[in-house]
Amino acid sequence: MTDQYISGHKWVWVECELPGYEGFKAEVRLNLQQGERRELREQLAAIEDAMEALEVAAMEKAFNIDERRDNKSLTPTEALALKVEQRQIQSEYAAGLEAEQAKQFQLIAPHIRAWNLFTMGGDGVPVAVPAPADGGAAVFDDLERPLVSWLIRELLLAYRGGKGLSASVNKSGEQQAPTEEPTHAGPQVIELPNTRASRTKSSGQ
Protein backbone atom coordinates (compact mmCIF):
# COMPACT_ATOMS: atom_id res chain seq x y z
CA MET A 1 0.00 0.00 0.00
CA THR A 2 1.43 3.37 -0.97
CA ASP A 3 1.80 6.18 1.54
CA GLN A 4 -1.27 8.35 1.79
CA TYR A 5 -1.10 12.10 1.39
CA ILE A 6 -3.98 14.08 2.88
CA SER A 7 -3.95 17.74 1.99
CA GLY A 8 -4.32 20.22 4.84
CA HIS A 9 -4.20 23.96 5.26
CA LYS A 10 -0.97 25.83 4.53
CA TRP A 11 -0.29 29.43 5.47
CA VAL A 12 1.96 32.29 4.45
CA TRP A 13 2.86 35.69 5.89
CA VAL A 14 2.19 38.70 3.68
CA GLU A 15 3.31 42.26 4.37
CA CYS A 16 1.40 45.38 3.39
CA GLU A 17 3.10 48.01 1.25
CA LEU A 18 0.16 50.40 1.00
CA PRO A 19 1.24 53.98 1.80
CA GLY A 20 0.49 54.69 5.43
CA TYR A 21 0.06 51.03 6.35
CA GLU A 22 3.63 49.79 5.93
CA GLY A 23 4.58 47.22 8.56
CA PHE A 24 1.18 45.58 8.82
CA LYS A 25 1.50 41.82 8.30
CA ALA A 26 -0.94 38.93 8.28
CA GLU A 27 -0.75 35.17 7.92
CA VAL A 28 -3.26 34.04 5.32
CA ARG A 29 -4.36 30.72 3.90
CA LEU A 30 -1.98 29.76 1.11
CA ASN A 31 -3.54 26.71 -0.46
CA LEU A 32 -7.18 27.48 -1.09
CA GLN A 33 -8.29 24.78 -3.47
CA GLN A 34 -9.29 25.92 -6.92
CA GLY A 35 -12.98 25.34 -6.23
CA GLU A 36 -12.75 27.12 -2.85
CA ARG A 37 -10.96 30.08 -4.38
CA ARG A 38 -13.42 30.35 -7.26
CA GLU A 39 -16.40 30.20 -4.90
CA LEU A 40 -14.85 32.74 -2.55
CA ARG A 41 -14.04 35.07 -5.42
CA GLU A 42 -17.61 34.83 -6.77
CA GLN A 43 -19.15 35.42 -3.34
CA LEU A 44 -16.92 38.42 -2.67
CA ALA A 45 -17.65 39.84 -6.12
CA ALA A 46 -21.39 39.50 -5.50
CA ILE A 47 -20.99 41.41 -2.24
CA GLU A 48 -19.04 44.18 -3.98
CA ASP A 49 -21.79 44.40 -6.61
CA ALA A 50 -24.41 44.64 -3.88
CA MET A 51 -22.48 47.44 -2.13
CA GLU A 52 -22.14 49.35 -5.38
CA ALA A 53 -25.85 48.92 -6.06
CA LEU A 54 -26.64 50.29 -2.59
CA GLU A 55 -24.43 53.30 -3.26
CA VAL A 56 -25.95 54.00 -6.68
CA ALA A 57 -29.49 53.75 -5.30
CA ALA A 58 -28.66 56.08 -2.42
CA MET A 59 -27.02 58.60 -4.76
CA GLU A 60 -30.02 58.60 -7.07
CA LYS A 61 -32.36 59.23 -4.16
CA ALA A 62 -30.09 62.01 -2.91
CA PHE A 63 -30.05 63.68 -6.32
CA ASN A 64 -33.84 63.50 -6.40
CA ILE A 65 -34.00 65.25 -3.05
CA ASP A 66 -31.60 67.94 -4.27
CA GLU A 67 -33.80 68.57 -7.30
CA ARG A 68 -36.88 68.95 -5.14
CA ARG A 69 -34.98 71.16 -2.70
CA ASP A 70 -34.24 73.58 -5.56
CA ASN A 71 -37.95 74.32 -5.72
CA LYS A 72 -38.10 77.85 -4.33
CA SER A 73 -41.77 77.49 -3.40
CA LEU A 74 -41.12 74.82 -0.73
CA THR A 75 -42.87 75.49 2.54
CA PRO A 76 -40.93 75.08 5.83
CA THR A 77 -42.84 71.86 6.46
CA GLU A 78 -41.90 70.47 3.05
CA ALA A 79 -38.25 71.47 3.54
CA LEU A 80 -38.21 69.69 6.89
CA ALA A 81 -39.75 66.60 5.33
CA LEU A 82 -36.93 66.53 2.78
CA LYS A 83 -34.35 66.62 5.57
CA VAL A 84 -36.07 63.72 7.31
CA GLU A 85 -36.18 61.80 4.04
CA GLN A 86 -32.49 62.46 3.44
CA ARG A 87 -31.55 61.18 6.90
CA GLN A 88 -33.64 58.06 6.26
CA ILE A 89 -31.82 57.41 2.99
CA GLN A 90 -28.45 57.75 4.72
CA SER A 91 -29.55 55.44 7.53
CA GLU A 92 -30.80 52.78 5.13
CA TYR A 93 -27.63 52.98 3.08
CA ALA A 94 -25.41 52.63 6.15
CA ALA A 95 -27.41 49.66 7.42
CA GLY A 96 -27.33 47.94 4.05
CA LEU A 97 -23.61 48.55 3.67
CA GLU A 98 -22.89 47.21 7.14
CA ALA A 99 -24.88 44.05 6.39
CA GLU A 100 -22.92 43.41 3.18
CA GLN A 101 -19.60 44.07 4.89
CA ALA A 102 -20.54 41.62 7.64
CA LYS A 103 -21.00 38.95 4.96
CA GLN A 104 -17.61 39.85 3.54
CA PHE A 105 -15.93 39.62 6.93
CA GLN A 106 -17.53 36.24 7.66
CA LEU A 107 -16.17 34.84 4.40
CA ILE A 108 -12.55 35.85 4.88
CA ALA A 109 -12.18 35.57 8.68
CA PRO A 110 -11.40 31.80 8.78
CA HIS A 111 -8.57 32.28 6.28
CA ILE A 112 -6.58 34.88 8.29
CA ARG A 113 -5.15 33.23 11.36
CA ALA A 114 -2.50 35.70 12.59
CA TRP A 115 -1.50 39.34 12.25
CA ASN A 116 0.49 42.00 14.06
CA LEU A 117 -2.40 44.39 14.66
CA PHE A 118 -2.51 46.29 17.94
CA THR A 119 -4.70 49.13 19.18
CA MET A 120 -3.77 51.62 21.85
CA GLY A 121 -5.41 50.91 25.21
CA GLY A 122 -6.78 53.55 27.52
CA ASP A 123 -3.61 53.45 29.61
CA GLY A 124 -1.44 54.02 26.57
CA VAL A 125 -0.30 50.40 26.39
CA PRO A 126 -0.71 48.61 23.02
CA VAL A 127 -3.31 45.82 23.09
CA ALA A 128 -3.15 42.93 20.63
CA VAL A 129 -6.21 42.48 18.42
CA PRO A 130 -7.07 38.78 17.95
CA ALA A 131 -6.67 37.52 14.41
CA PRO A 132 -9.96 36.93 12.55
CA ALA A 133 -9.65 33.13 12.64
CA ASP A 134 -9.75 33.34 16.45
CA GLY A 135 -11.58 36.60 17.13
CA GLY A 136 -14.19 36.20 14.42
CA ALA A 137 -15.50 38.68 11.91
CA ALA A 138 -16.07 41.34 14.60
CA VAL A 139 -12.34 42.15 14.73
CA PHE A 140 -12.65 43.75 11.28
CA ASP A 141 -14.97 46.45 12.63
CA ASP A 142 -12.12 48.79 13.54
CA LEU A 143 -9.95 47.97 10.53
CA GLU A 144 -9.78 50.68 7.88
CA ARG A 145 -11.24 49.83 4.51
CA PRO A 146 -7.95 49.92 2.54
CA LEU A 147 -6.54 47.17 4.77
CA VAL A 148 -9.65 45.03 4.40
CA SER A 149 -9.41 45.30 0.62
CA TRP A 150 -5.70 44.51 0.76
CA LEU A 151 -6.29 41.40 2.88
CA ILE A 152 -8.91 40.15 0.43
CA ARG A 153 -6.56 40.64 -2.51
CA GLU A 154 -3.66 38.91 -0.75
CA LEU A 155 -5.85 35.99 0.29
CA LEU A 156 -7.06 35.42 -3.26
CA LEU A 157 -3.54 35.72 -4.71
CA ALA A 158 -1.54 33.97 -1.96
CA TYR A 159 -1.30 30.75 -3.97
CA ARG A 160 0.94 32.57 -6.47
CA GLY A 161 3.59 33.28 -3.83
CA GLY A 162 4.18 31.27 -0.70
CA LYS A 163 7.58 32.74 0.17
CA GLY A 164 6.70 32.77 3.87
CA LEU A 165 5.81 29.09 3.98
CA SER A 166 8.24 27.33 6.30
CA ALA A 167 6.79 23.83 6.72
CA SER A 168 4.55 21.49 4.80
CA VAL A 169 1.57 19.46 5.93
CA ASN A 170 2.38 15.98 7.13
CA LYS A 171 0.77 12.76 5.93
CA SER A 172 -1.80 12.76 8.72
CA GLY A 173 -3.34 15.94 7.34
CA GLU A 174 -2.69 17.98 10.46
CA GLN A 175 -2.72 21.71 9.94
CA GLN A 176 0.64 23.38 9.57
CA ALA A 177 1.94 25.08 12.70
CA PRO A 178 2.02 28.88 12.59
CA THR A 179 4.85 30.02 10.37
CA GLU A 180 7.43 32.34 11.84
CA GLU A 181 6.54 35.98 11.43
CA PRO A 182 8.95 37.58 8.97
CA THR A 183 11.31 40.13 10.41
CA HIS A 184 11.90 43.20 8.27
CA ALA A 185 13.21 46.61 9.03
CA GLY A 186 10.62 49.18 9.98
CA PRO A 187 7.53 49.04 12.18
CA GLN A 188 6.13 45.61 12.95
CA VAL A 189 2.96 46.88 14.58
CA ILE A 190 0.66 49.66 13.48
CA GLU A 191 -1.90 51.55 15.48
CA LEU A 192 -5.23 52.14 13.81
CA PRO A 193 -7.84 54.72 14.75
CA ASN A 194 -11.03 53.41 16.28
CA THR A 195 -12.97 53.85 13.06
CA ARG A 196 -15.43 51.36 11.63
CA ALA A 197 -14.74 50.31 8.05
CA SER A 198 -16.70 52.48 5.67
CA ARG A 199 -16.84 53.33 2.03
CA THR A 200 -15.52 56.68 0.97
CA LYS A 201 -18.74 57.97 -0.45
CA SER A 202 -21.91 58.75 1.45
CA SER A 203 -25.31 59.64 0.12
CA GLY A 204 -27.00 63.01 0.18
CA GLN A 205 -23.85 65.10 0.40
Spatial neighbors of 13 by CB under 8 A, at least 6 apart, are 25, 26, 27, 114, 164, 179, 181, 182
- Could you read off the pLDDT of 43-96 as tens digits, one per residue? 999 999 999 999 999 999 999 999 988 877 889 999 899 999 999 999 999 999
Distance between CA atoms of 89 and 50, rounded to whole angstroms?
Answer: 16
Q: Is the per-residue pLDDT at 110 higher than 90?
A: yes
